[in-house]
Chain A
Amino acid sequence: GAGVSQTPSNKVTEKGKYVELRCDPISGHTALYWYRQSLGQGPEFLIYFQGTGAADDSGLPNDRFFAVRPEGSVSTLKIQRTERGDSAVYLCASSLSGGSPAGDEQFFGPGTRLTVL
């Protein structure tokens, strides 16, 4: 079956620009997660959705980062006024229920590599 997909696979932008990264979770998965992964590091939690609502956004580094999931399926991570330090791979994952975020098996997408010049 189809897994988690993310678009674009690569995004190059200039400092100060706005970007949107898209995640299509596995159909039927109610929980969706965004992570950021820098080179040589493990994924770093950003935000978690249960359905349409952000159940935990404590990982977002500042107010330039925002994410939505208006219909409880596709999610978009939005970054305003990008900075060079935002360069990383942004990973999306989904899980079936999300009732136990740290216990549920998460299915990851391939990520979007963001480069801010």
Chain B
Amino acid sequence: LAKTTQPISMDSYEGQEVNITCSHNNIATNDYITWYQQFPSQGPRFIIQGYKTKVTNEVASLFIPADRKSSTLSLPRVSLSDTAVYYCLVGDGSSASKIIFGSGTRLSIRP
């Protein structure tokens, strides 16, 4: 199973760009990279997903280098409401049991 490694926590300030990097050295050819956000007392919420290169949506960007051994979630101009735990998942689309959330990165945004 492809295991992921993320920083335990990060701090930033409102209006800054935040980049959270996830390492997944054992990623398999068919694995997707997916990021979820979780607020206290809520279930995780899908942010973005990619396979290679760059993906951008209205919320974030996901950068994936050619070797796919890492990925970076980029949150532009964060606000206090972006304070949450962010999970990087690497999974083979064929198997639910390979969905591994890990411990996530606790992002704290300050005024």
Contacts and interface: CB of A to CB of B under 8 A. Distances in A.
B103 A41 contact: yes
Interface string B88-101: 01011111111111
Nearest to A109: B43
Interface size class of A (residues with CB under 8 A): 20 to 34
A106 B46 contact: yes
9 contacts: A45-B99, A101-B93, A101-B96, A102-B31, A102-B91, A102-B93, A102-B95, A103-B91, A105-B46
B81 interface: no
List the 5 closest A-B pairs by CB distance, nearest first. Answer: A102-B91, A108-B43, A42-B101, A100-B93, A48-B96
Query: Binding site of A, secondary structure by majority: helix, strand, loop or mixed?
Result: loop
Interface in A1-58: 4, 33, 35, 40-45, 48, 55-56, 58
